[in-house]
Structure 1
């Protein structure tokens, strides 16, 4: 069994040339879970897999992470073979925000008669969720305001922060072993995002060695992060993961 994290895009909101930050968890070369769906994510996903995503996890509701959901809705609704089959996992605290951002516009279709969520299977969660026999942990991150952004971890394999400020104590809890950590990082931090100086101040050497940085501002910024000794994800790159640890029956 082989596992990979396939980065479809790696850019910050303004770095459109790098693609909207999103990734796919692959198992034996097949897509298991899409993480986030920005404005260009669906095109990149279709190019890679020639099918619509079966499972989607939303970290938070800024438009560079959910801006592709309207188009995905249209594709799902007008294809009866897939309508209602794609599961959308997200923390329960995000459901009101997700409803407001993408689902609550009057008339999902101009013709009327359609409720937005009928095109999907919305699966709210809190501590995490089961997917194909694996338990995925969900954890709060620090982004803009409390309770609005949540990362994802698969024990023994990886953690994906989504947009965040440094969260060393959280990562040591959910990815304290050999897990790869895909981490939001630009050259300069701000109240919603991590900068490289934050990484070097907040994370010890053993944790920094497991980071793969994404959500940076430009290709030149990525090159600078690499020059400082960090592994940097590039759009289209597949990063090998350690196979996840056996899941405990009481994980859920």
Structure 2
């Protein structure tokens, strides 16, 4: 069984036009397993690649470059009776109120009435993690603005996706301890919400730095500088092979 991470976009909010909004699809045996974040550019890229809307989405946080495609996804799903209410939306419980406020609370999601935003989805609030397609996905808090507003994701032994974050050595000591590829927010220069490469080099051991795959940078030129510095830099539309998860898959019983 093969696993891969496909980057729909790798840019920060200001670089979405050039690099796409930061988002990835975990693929299993060549098929989409899970979409991570759903910005407007990310959803368009997903539909170009896979044609059909995603069946499962994990949301790291609710900045619009990560959830701006949710309204369009609602319409795609709501008007398809076979998908309505079937799309799993895994959302850290602490950010459900923020997602409600930003994308679901507008009075009248349909002009005709008769529908709530959440009717299109199967909302699954998560804390430590969630089961999806028989696999346990771990969820952990990261450092992005206020506490408990942004989260990362791990499939043990396969990958870690930090989402938008400052350096988190204490979290990765626990959630990247099984040789995973670590897709990490990183730009040339950090700020109060995002990591800079100098900060990662100060905070992380060499072994972890060697497993990083950098995304969420400001421009193609910045990506080239990071690559010249010796780091692996994710590119828009790139597919990266992943190690197989170390946990056995659970087969559901009737």
TM-score range, shorter chain: over 0.9
State the match for 1:186 in structure 2.
Answer: 187
> What SS does the aligned partner of 1:100 have?
helix
Runs of 4+ residues over 4 Å off in structure 1:
none
Which residue does 2:3 correspond to in 1?
3
- Residue 19, structure 1, aligned to residue 3, structure 2: no
1:247 CA drift (Å): 4.2
Tell me if the contact between 1:135 and 1:247 (Cα under 8 Å) persists in the aligned partners.
no
Distance 2:126 2:67 in 1: 18
Which ranges in structure 1 are unaligned for 5 or more consecutive residues?
Answer: none
The number of residue pairs the alignment matches comes to 249
Deviation at 1:177, TM superposition (A): 2.4
Partner of 2:46: 45
- CA deviations on 1:98-153 (whole Å, 9 max, x unpaired) are 00010001111122111000001000010000011110000000001100000000
Structure 2: give runs of 5+ residues left out of the alignment. none
Once residues 93 and 177 of structure 2 are traced to their aligned partners in structure 1, the CA distance between those partners, rounded to angstroms, is 25
In 2, the alpha carbon distance for the partners of 1:153 and 1:129 equals 11
Q: Which whole-Å CA distance do the structure 2 matches of 1:78 and 1:131 have between them?
A: 24
Alignment of 1:201-216 (within 5 A): 201-216=202-217
Q: TM-score, normalised by structure 2?
A: 0.96
Corresponding residue for residue 116 of structure 1: 117
CA-based RMSD: 1.0
Looking at structure 2, the residues matched to 226 and 149 of structure 1 have their Cα atoms a distance apart, in angstroms, of 27
